[in-house]
Amino acid sequence: MIDKTPGKEGKTDLSEITLICRCEDVTLKEIRDLIAEGYTTAEEIKRITRCGMGPCQGRTCRELLLAEIARALEEKVDKIAPTRYRPPTKPIRLGGIIEGDADDLG
């Protein structure tokens, strides 16, 4: 349990346990540390942390990552370049590829 009482020693930094990317277990602290080191694009952070490369393909974390970069750079989110989408953009069954099942390839 986290003690959030002001002035208590041993208080946990919530950014250490706040997950940005649930698929790859990337925390807010990791993102902030990378930004502080000079990595200020979503592509750089994605390549280092795999944020956005899990099974959801960034559906849950992409906007959180962009918002954190924008906050750090004091920019609007729409001014931050999003990560590139690379195929496959949705999970596909390997068996579907082997079997030639067109429903799995579309």
SS (H, E, C) 15-61: HHCCEEECCCCEEHHHHHHHHHCCCCCHHHHHHHHCCCCCCCCCCCC
| Domains located in the chain, CATH noted | 15-105 (1.10.10.1100)
Q: What is the pLDDT of residues 54-101, one digit of tens each?
A: 888 888 899 999 999 999 999 999 999 998 877 656 677 777 778 776
Q: What is the pLDDT of residues 6-46, one digit of tens each?
A: 555 667 788 889 999 999 999 999 999 999 999 999 999 99
CB 104 within 8 A of CB 92: yes
> Which pLDDT belongs to residue 104?
59
